[in-house]
Every structure is written in C-alpha cells, then in structure tokens.
Amino acid sequence: MIEIRQLQKHYGSHRVLHGVDLDVAKGEVVCLIGPSGSGKSTLLRCINALEAYDGGHINVFGETVQRASKTVHALRSRMGMVFQRFNLF
C-alpha cells in the first residue's frame, strides 16, 4: 500500500530525512513517534505530495508520488492522516 525507499529531504544544508525506508501494508496502523524536529511531519507531507522530496521514491497504492503529478489529487482523496494538533500541519 505504501512503499518508501531511500527517501531524502533537505532544507538548505540541513538534512531532515536521510535514506528512509518504510513499508505499510493494507490494514496496518502506523504511528510516527519522535522528538520535535526529527522529520515526522516532513515525512507525512512528502507521502501526500504536499512537500517535494530530494531523492528516493514513494509509491502509494502502486502509484509513484510526485508533487507535480497529474494524479496527485486523486491519490490524496484516497489517503488520510491524523495529527496530534491541527495546527502542527
């Protein structure tokens, strides 16, 4: 359902995501837990194509997730996220 391989994201010289690999199967529930600034929200934003990533790849429902993709709106309509606070996103 979600496959992430070697995901990279930088903000200038600051590396936020470095080689993230993740598989989430259909029906599986996943929690991202970590300290402030560890890249949790950035990872979720990349999965939903709200943030462009610098390297690696993300597949959701068998489709490659890219910010400029024509199918990104249809893909987002099939995904959901829950945040601790609404203003964190």
Per-residue model confidence as pLDDT tens digits over 15-55: 999 999 999 999 998 888 888 889 998 999 899 888 899 99
Domain parsing of the chain, residue ranges = 2-88
- What lies within 8 Å, CB to CB, of 18 at 6+ separation is 8
What whole-number distance in Å separates Cα of residue 85 and Cα of residue 88?
6
> Where does the pLDDT of residue 3 fall: very low under 50, low under 70, confident under 90, or very high at 90 and above?
very high
The CATH code that applies to domain 2-88 is 3.40.50.300
